[in-house]
Amino acid sequence: MKKIVFVLCLLVSLRTFAQGDQITGLYWSPKKDAKIEIYKKGGQYFGRSVWVANPRKDIKNPNEALKKREVLGIDLFSGFIYKDGTYTSGKVYDPEDGKTYDCKMNLNGEVLKVRGYIGISLFGRTEYFKRIRS
């Protein structure tokens, strides 16, 4: 009986991990001026820009040392944890204003719903990223 319970718990855990990994892949930004790759590292999910239509520097960054870096290749999403169908506890960096926001994400089919906010989710903005490929 203990073996059966162990195997069932293992299967449920593996299913949860596999569901969380469904988010990984390549997405268009809302304006289709960038491609974002969502990847998993150390049990958390991140998203980096892998293509931008108009290459530019991160001039709005409040850190002077980072203003000279290219937007291409930086992590825009960081530290997300999958729990009960939602990716939470993450941050999103917006190079348009140089600010980092608390963030949560949900995957609905091929569309990634990203909600950036300050303090509570009520005070924020939602953007939609369309999957290009897994």
For residues 77 and 48, give the distance between their C-alpha atoms in angstroms, rounded to a whole number.
Answer: 7
Asked whether residue 3 carries a pLDDT value surpassing 60, the answer given is: no
- Mean pLDDT rounded to a whole number for the chain: 89
Q: Three-state DSSP class for 51?
A: strand
pLDDT digits (tens, 9 = 90+) for 9-43: 333 333 444 578 999 999 999 999 999 999 999 99
Measure the CA–CA gap between 107 and 50, rounded to whole angstroms: 20
Q: Considering only CA atoms, which of 99, 97, 105, 108 is closest in space to residue 127?
A: 105
Domains of the chain: which residue ranges? 2-133
pLDDT-based confidence at residue 78 (cuts at 50, 70, 90): very high
Q: For domain 2-133, which architecture applies?
A: Beta Barrel (2.40)
DSSP character at residue 57: B
pLDDT at 17: 42
pLDDT digits (tens, 9 = 90+) for 49-70: 999 999 999 999 999 999 999 9
